[in-house]
Each structure stands twice: as structure tokens, then as C-alpha cells.
Structure 1
Amino acid sequence: MKRLLNLLLGVLLLAAAACTSGSASDAWRDNAVIYELNVRQFTPAGTFAAAEERLPALRDLGVDIVWLMPVHPIGVEGRKGTLGSYYAIRDYRAINPEFGTMADFERFLDRAHKLGMRVILDYVANHTSPDHAWVTEMPAEWYVRDSTGVPVVQYDWTDIAKLNYATPAVREAMFDVLKFWTDKGVDGFRCDAAKEMPDDFWTDAFVRLRAVRPDLFLLAEAEGPQFHADGFDATYAWELHHLLNAIARGDKSAADLRAYLQADSERYPASAHRMMFTSNHDENSWAGTEFERMGDAAATMAALTYVLPQSMPLIYTGQEVGYDHRFEFFEKDPMPAWEPNEWTEFYTRLNAMRHANPALASGGKGGEMAYMGGALADIMAFTRILGDNKVVCFFNLSAEPQAVIPTVEVAGDFTDALTGEPRSIVAGEEFALAPWEYAILVKSAF
């Protein structure tokens, strides 16, 4: 009966959200930028206190949401490397002493809020570390176990024990974790390995949380429209990420990107936010930096994630200074002293562009994408127009020079979003693009 009541309440809340779409309480999501903060590597000290000192720099960069990778104590049993994986959690209600104390975390959270940023936590619901107290203190059915009674290990995650969501007490305990941190004042959660949990766990938990905190932001580390039905605001655009890598290698083209965007728009609800990225903690450590994977196209692909429909762009630790380094995942491997450079300016301008142009909003609020010049093999040329706000985009997605012949509909005087310089588009006059060159032109300066 409780499950049924929760589901009914969920339907009512979703209906209410649809009726109030675009309200002041949720409009901030539509042009938000996420920054994934790897506390261990973000500063030489690797603490909340040191990270707090850099929050004004993130605010100046134009960050709206600070996503903290897991902040909890890490298990010792089966630990990988010296310091272990953030995702092998030994205590969901405590702070990893490597990062400081609960008071340090609370000061970090308060400072971020005072600077106008929201903070979301990485929530690891699929598993604990093998030495979490629940493994021995709770009934055996709290974990998925093999034939010998040992908690199951998934994939190559040899430092974890998988929780059993067929056990109601596990669901309640994991909801209590969400409630604990929501009561602390965090603004939402990035839900790790979201596909590993039953859909109705998410639905039930989110209905209950949003009954007391309607503005929580919920990001699924998963791809699929069902997660939006579960109550998530945003999902990973993994398929797009791999496609951008393939285009940068020359294995795919702009035509493939157009086909992907069409299919994606048909699969997902208009209200969906799709987190788009050129790097994150998984890609950086295991697949390489954006410079390794994308080469000369790295900046081009990053800029593209800011202008595609439904995008909620992500910046990972170090990208704001162009740090070309694979972070060691299980060791202390911090960024060097943070000094603003051309990459800082690059992302600052992209973020300002996103905030200043409602045509680029996600969540079904921005302007529709309209292509120019037909199905050009290696060029993405399109407009995003909403009211009197016009954004015109030219992207050469190849290592060869290309050109577009603009039509009269896009002719006029604009401002280059990345340089701030005036630029004009003349109908019928060739708009030339060097290899991997792009131009994002807007109607108003910022």
C-alpha cells in the first residue's frame, strides 16, 4: 500500500511539474553548467578547506552546479591502490578523513551557496565496500551473495559488495542516506550506476524527497528515457560522447551527428536535460584526456556541447585550465597550482554565452535547431532562435578546410561568442572554416 501511495503521489507531482514548467523555482536548470570536482586532485592539499578557497574561481568561471565525487570513507578490504576508489564506500553518513571533517564539508557547502552555486553529491546506491558494517551486522539478505554466501562482486570492481534491492530494509536504509544529506542542505545527487537499481526504487525515493525538497537536481549516470520517467532531471549523453570521439578520429562525420540528434530527440521527452561532455572522471583516467582522444578537435567538441539541443554541459576537474593529464584514480595525483589561462577564458566565455542566450536553454525551453546548407558531409551549420535571440553556429567537423554559403535568413550583424568581436554574415557569400574551426555568433554582446 505504501508503494502504491508513493507512486500515486509521484504521478501527481509530475503533473504539477508539467503545469508549472518554466517557473522561477526550476528555471535555473535550463542554462546550468556542471563542474565535476575531484576533491582528491582539485588542490595540492586535496581537502574541502583548500577546495573552498577556489570556489570563487568556479563562480567566476560561470559554474552553476558543483558535483562532488564521493566524499565518504573508503573501505580497506580489497582496496585498490594506496588510497582506494571513492566508489567503495564504508560509511554513507561520514566524511572521508582524507578530505577533512563534516564541519569542513558544511563550510564548503555554505560557501558555495553564498556564492550562488548548488552542490550535488555522488550517491553510490549499488554497492558498499566489503567492510561496510552492514556486511556483518545486517541480515544476509541485505547483499546479493554467491553460492558460498560471499557478497557478489561485479565487473572488475573487486573492492565492492553488491546490495540487494529485493530486501525492503535495504531500500529504506538507502533512502535514509538520501534524506540525511538532503537535510544537510545538498541540492541533489548524481546517482552512480543508476541502471543497476530497480526503477521503482528511484521513483519511490524521489517522490518522498521532492515532497519536502521539490527543487532537488537529480542526475543519472545512465542513458535511456526510462530514467526521466523514474524522476531524474538529467541523464548522461554517453552515445554522443563516443560519437564525438569518433568524429575527431575521422571515423564518423557530421552526417552521423545529425542522425544521432534526430534519434535522440525522438527517444527523450522535451523536458529532458542531457549531460554532454568531452571528459569526466571515468574517461580521463581510463580512456585518456580529451586531448588524447580528440586531438586538434578538443576545443571544437567542447564548444559543440554548449549549443546542441537539450545540452547541460559538464566541465571536469582540470579542463578549465586545459590540464592534459590522466589523473591516477586510486592515488594522490593533484593538479599543479591553479593559474588561469586561455582555457579558463574559453570556458568562461562558453558559460557566459549559455547564460546570456535563452535560445540555448535545455529542458525544452530553448530554440529549435534548424540546419543551414542542407546535409553537408563535414559541417554542422545551424541556428537556435527563440524570440529575438538568435544563435548561429558553424562547425567544421573535419581536418580539411570547408565552407558554407549562408542564406538570407541568417544574414546580418552578430557578435562572436568566443571573442566578443563583431562579425557579419552575408547571404550568398562563402563563410570559410579552417580545419576544426567553428564560429558561434549571437545577436547580443555579453
Structure 2
Amino acid sequence: MKQYFALFFSLLILSCHSGSEEARKPEVSNFQVKPIEPITKNIISQSVLYEANIRQYSNEGTFNAFANDLPIIKKLGVKILWLMPINPISTTKSKGPLGSYYAVSDYTKINPEFGSLEDFKNLVDKAHELGIYVILDWVPGHTGWDHHWITEKSDYYLKNKKGEIIDPIDFRTGKSFGWTDVADLNYNNFEMREELREAMIYWVKETNIDGYRIDQAYAVPQEFYDKTLKALREIKPLFILAETDIYHPGGIKLINKFDATYDWLGHHLSKDVAQGKKNANDYHKHVNRTLRLYGTDNILVNFVSNHDENSWNGTVEESFGEAGHTFMALNFTLPGMPLIYSGQEYDLGKRLHFFEKDSFPKIKGKTMNLLRQLGSLKNNHRALETGSSGGSYKRINTSRNDKILAFEREKSGDTIVVLANLSKDYVQFTMPYDGDFHRYQDFKIKTLSSSYQYDMKPWEFWILIK
């Protein structure tokens, strides 16, 4: 019997390797990446913005490693992905072992530390498949010291009286920022402007990105944006975020050129409130003043952290203490676009190194759950839309306006009411507001009545859906 089975299997193996059978050709896949719909004001109005620090996001620090987690990021409600600079980094006069992302040595190349051009294109394609738009961090004010323009086209840079190329000057003091690893570009040179413009066009055409975040936008002449943004938007609709505000050079006239800018003042104020230096009244006044000065067309990005804040000023825990989740909730529910910085969803508890490799543990906890819930609210409730057609904002007065920030957002019959105790104290209060709502976290009924006295714990917040 054993000999019979041995003979049978020998014949079977021989038949599988028979020369008379042609090798099968691999099937050609007809799969194509489904094009993402062009970005619109309506999409922007419901968007959550995620800032990705590719180097530090994973142990590998690569496009491919980051792309693997895009489905997780999608669940946070993220619709726009901002990638910190992906260009090669200058090694001349660089800071630390790896240098700064913002010391660009070539505007049309990929930092090999992160992967290849194809890896980047794959990341963009995967994001688009998930309905996420991708914008690149663009550094138009300066380059690294080994950019080929330094030796080939030195007139592209600002120089001192000795004819030496200089690093950037702080407009407020007239002195160096101390950014000695970069050389300041000369916008009086129109050939330089054109090369920079063509580089920006290259990334949109070659990799199908959906816009830019403009670093230090206030340091560039406004007429450069007029021509450049017109050329870019002739290719496809884009989202342009600018690092500036009305208190920087250019003011509201510059702000109007972009889709979104930063609420730096609101960020610093929120930290002051968290640290007991300011109160709920101060915060409400800021919201009202911002809506008045910026108008509804200009979207402000609300944040508790970003790459600068985390590395140089401290973690969310250091800056906000127990108020961290409260201000995350306000960032999502007040007018504006909420920003999540790499690792914030994992309770990032460290200041990430800026000039060398770092990473963080990915342990899902309360912040991940909170951001998922807030992201869903932002994506799906018209009351929380921002921009020219966004939901209204109206403060609800309470008997403790100094500690309780209560407000109503409404649009087209969709109403959301938010109450937040912006203090470290237990607070009792009344509020002349009536209605039946559902709690956002579990959809249980919550009734508000002018006859009730409410009690809120320190930094407690309620988000109620009509």
C-alpha cells in the first residue's frame, strides 16, 4: 500500500511540472484608483485637519508606515491631511543629526529618509481612496544652505552690506530670528519667484496633491500669491492654509487670499484659561471679536497642539493640564477648523525632537475615543460647519458667565448646544434655556430648563444634539 501511494504522488508531482503545460500568465488587473471629487467649500466647512510629522509618526519614519495608519486617521473625521515638509533637508549649517524639515535643499525632490517619489504618490492615492485630501507644507521664505541656488544663483537671496547671504530677519525686531540653518530668499528677484512658482505647480501636476500649507506666509509679498494661486487653481480646486493672522504683516488683505489661517491668539488664550489666568468671559469675547474682524468667509484653525507647540512649548498635558479634553471639544464645536497633531490622538506625552529621530507609543485611550466622536460630529452636523455658510454662534448666558461658556450652534434646523466649565472649580449655575436634547457620547436624553440648577465638575463639558 505504501508503494502504491508513493507511486501515485510521484506521478502527481511530475504532472504538475510537465513541460507540456504552459506557465500561467499573471492576470492583468483592471483596478484603478477612484478619483476623489474636487475639494469644495462645503467639504472644507466640515473638515478636520491632521498634521502629519512623517519622521516621528512611526519607528520607520516613512511614507509607507504612515500610509498603513490612514484608516485609523480617517476615523478621527479627518478630511484634510497636512504633511510637514517632505523635501530633502540641507546638511550645511544644519541643526542636530537630521536637521530641520524647514531647511529645504531642493523644492522638487523627496527626502529619501521618508521614501521615494512613488511611495509618496502611493500615499496620496491611498488617502484619496479614503476621501482624504493631501496638502504639502511649503517653505517659500528661505532654503537650506546647500540648495543649488546658493552657489549657482546667489542673487536669489538677501545679502548684507558685505554681499554675504543672510538668514531670515524678524520683522518685529529687525534682528535675526536665529534660524541660522536657512538662507533668506530675495523676492525682488522675479526669476526666483518664477522658479518657486513652477516648483509648486510641479507637485500638483505630478503627484495630484490638493493644496499647500504656506510656512511663514506673511513674509512673502502679496503679489506673489496673486499670480501663484491663480496658476495653481487653474489646474484643480485646492485648499490653501497659511501660517499667518491679522496681527502679522498683510493683515486681513493677506488673509483673504487663503482658505484658512491660524487662530494663534485663541490658542494662547486657551492656555491662559486652562492655567487660571483668564476666564470664560475672556474666551467668549475672543470668539466674538474674531468673527467680527475676520468675517465668516475666513476660516481659522483651532488647535491645542502643532509641531512648534509640541517641540518648543510643551505637550498638551503641560500646557492644558486637566483642561486638555475640554479645549479639544471647543476646537471642534466653535466656529473654525479643528487641527489634530501627530500623536495627539494617542495622548502624546512627550515633546518630540525636532532635529533628530523620535517616535511615540500608539496606545489607544480616552483621547482617541473623544476625537473619533468629535470628528463624527464635525463631519455630520450642519450646525458645526464653518466658513461663509457655516452654522451660527450665539452665547447662552448663565448665572456664572465667568466660569461657564455656554453657546448654541445652528443651521437649517440642526442645533447643537455646548456647555463647558472653564475653571478648576465645581460650579453651580442656572441658565434661561429650555429644550430636550441628546448627549453626544451616548445619545441619552438631556433636558435643559430655565427652572433647573446645574452642577458641573471642573473642566466638565456637555455637547447636546437637538
TM-score under structure 1 length normalisation? 0.90
TM-aligned CA deviation for residue 263 of structure 1: 1.6
Cα distance in 2 between the residues matched to 1:158 and 1:24: 38
Is the contact between residue 396 and residue 437 of structure 1 (CA under 8 Å) also seen in structure 2? Answer: yes
Cα distance in 2 between the residues matched to 1:341 and 1:399: 23
From 291, 294, 315, give the equivalent of 2:340.
315
Measured against aligned partners, the alpha-carbon deviations of 1:336-392 in whole angstroms (never above 9, x if no partner) come to 2x2322211110000001112101111022222212225711111111111221111
Say whether 1:442 aligns with 2:442.
no
State the match for 1:385 in structure 2.
410
State the match for 1:401 in structure 2.
426
Is the contact between residue 77 and residue 378 of structure 2 (CA under 8 Å) also seen in structure 1? Answer: no
CA separation of 1:387 and 1:431: change in aligned 2, threshold 3 A: farther
Say what the alpha-carbon RMSD is for the aligned residues. Answer: 1.4
Cα distance in 2 between the residues matched to 1:74 and 1:422: 54
**SS at the partner of 2:98?**
coil
Within 5 A, what are the aligned runs for 1:227-242? 227-229=254-256, 231-242=257-268
Q: Which moved more, 1:360-369 or 1:188-197?
A: 360-369
Cα distance in 2 between the residues matched to 1:430 and 1:228: 43
Within 5 A, what are the aligned runs for 1:298-377? 298-309=324-335, 311-336=336-361, 338-373=362-397, 376-377=401-402
Say whether 1:288 aligns with 2:330.
no
Cα distance in 2 between the residues matched to 1:36 and 1:276: 12
**SS at the partner of 2:213?**
strand
Is the contact between residue 436 and residue 448 of structure 2 (CA under 8 Å) also seen in structure 1? Answer: yes
From 177, 180, 187, give the equivalent of 2:210.
187
State the match for 1:272 in structure 2.
298
Cα distance in 2 between the residues matched to 1:364 and 1:417: 26
Say whether 1:432 aligns with 2:449.
no
Letter in 1 for 2:97: T
Is the contact between residue 33 and residue 313 of structure 1 (CA under 8 Å) also seen in structure 2? Answer: yes
Is the contact between residue 300 and residue 437 of structure 1 (CA under 8 Å) also seen in structure 2? Answer: yes
Cα distance in 2 between the residues matched to 1:269 and 1:167: 34
Q: Which runs of 5+ in 1 are unaligned?
A: 1-22
TM-aligned CA deviation for residue 418 of structure 1: 3.2
Q: Which moved more, 1:148-157 or 1:184-193?
A: 148-157
From 150, 153, 172, give the equivalent of 2:194.
172
Say whether 1:101 aligns with 2:127.
no
TM-aligned CA deviation for residue 402 of structure 1: 1.6
State the match for 1:118 in structure 2.
133
Say whether 1:297 aligns with 2:323.
yes
Measured against aligned partners, the alpha-carbon deviations of 1:297-320 in whole angstroms (never above 9, x if no partner) come to 1111111111112x1000000111
TM-aligned CA deviation for residue 141 of structure 1: 2.1
TM-aligned CA deviation for residue 87 of structure 1: 0.2
State the match for 1:3 in structure 2.
none
State the match for 1:127 in structure 2.
142
Within 5 A, what are the aligned runs for 1:198-213? 198-213=221-236
Is the contact between residue 245 and residue 255 of structure 2 (CA under 8 Å) also seen in structure 1? Answer: no
Is the contact between residue 428 and residue 455 of structure 2 (CA under 8 Å) also seen in structure 1? Answer: yes
From 142, 157, 170, give the equivalent of 1:143.
157
From 156, 177, 180, give the equivalent of 2:178.
156
**SS at the partner of 1:29?**
helix
Is the contact between residue 234 and residue 273 of structure 1 (CA under 8 Å) also seen in structure 2? Answer: yes
Q: Which moved more, 1:274-283 or 1:141-150?
A: 141-150
Q: Which moved more, 1:53-62 or 1:272-281?
A: 53-62
Cα distance in 2 between the residues matched to 1:332 and 1:353: 35
Is the contact between residue 366 and residue 384 of structure 1 (CA under 8 Å) also seen in structure 2? Answer: no
State the match for 2:5 in structure 1.
none
What is the aligned length?
414
TM-aligned CA deviation for residue 24 of structure 1: 8.3
Letter in 1 for 2:161: S
Cα distance in 2 between the residues matched to 1:104 and 1:384: 42
Measured against aligned partners, the alpha-carbon deviations of 1:250-294 in whole angstroms (never above 9, x if no partner) come to 111111112212221121131111001000000000000111011
Is the contact between residue 104 and residue 143 of structure 2 (CA under 8 Å) also seen in structure 1? Answer: yes
Say whether 1:62 aligns with 2:84.
no
State the match for 1:222 in structure 2.
244
**SS at the partner of 1:263?**
helix
Letter in 2 for 1:306: F
Is the contact between residue 382 and residue 412 of structure 2 (CA under 8 Å) also seen in structure 1? Answer: no
Measured against aligned partners, the alpha-carbon deviations of 1:74-99 in whole angstroms (never above 9, x if no partner) come to 00101100010000000111111110
Larger radius of gyration: 2
Is the contact between residue 266 and residue 302 of structure 2 (CA under 8 Å) also seen in structure 1? Answer: yes
**SS at the partner of 1:153?**
coil
**SS at the partner of 1:95?**
coil
State the match for 1:20 in structure 2.
none
Letter in 2 for 1:202: Y
Is the contact between residue 129 and residue 161 of structure 1 (CA under 8 Å) also seen in structure 2? Answer: yes
Say whether 1:421 aligns with 2:448.
no
Is the contact between residue 227 and residue 235 of structure 1 (CA under 8 Å) also seen in structure 2? Answer: no
Is the contact between residue 220 and residue 227 of structure 1 (CA under 8 Å) also seen in structure 2? Answer: no
State the match for 2:280 in structure 1.
254
CA separation of 1:328 and 1:275: change in aligned 2, threshold 3 A: same
TM-score under structure 2 length normalisation? 0.86
Measured against aligned partners, the alpha-carbon deviations of 1:176-217 in whole angstroms (never above 9, x if no partner) come to 11101111200000000001101111122111211222x200
**SS at the partner of 1:83?**
coil
Is the contact between residue 191 and residue 219 of structure 1 (CA under 8 Å) also seen in structure 2? Answer: yes
Is the contact between residue 263 and residue 301 of structure 2 (CA under 8 Å) also seen in structure 1? Answer: yes
Measured against aligned partners, the alpha-carbon deviations of 1:160-188 in whole angstroms (never above 9, x if no partner) come to 00110111111111111110111120000
Cα distance in 2 between the residues matched to 1:61 and 1:119: 16
State the match for 2:41 in structure 1.
26
Letter in 2 for 1:143: Y
Letter in 1 for 2:344: Q
Say whether 1:43 aligns with 2:43.
no
Cα distance in 1 between the residues matched to 2:443 and 2:103: 46
State the match for 1:11 in structure 2.
none
Is the contact between residue 417 and residue 441 of structure 1 (CA under 8 Å) also seen in structure 2? Answer: yes
Is the contact between residue 118 and residue 187 of structure 1 (CA under 8 Å) also seen in structure 2? Answer: yes
Is the contact between residue 39 and residue 239 of structure 2 (CA under 8 Å) also seen in structure 1? Answer: no
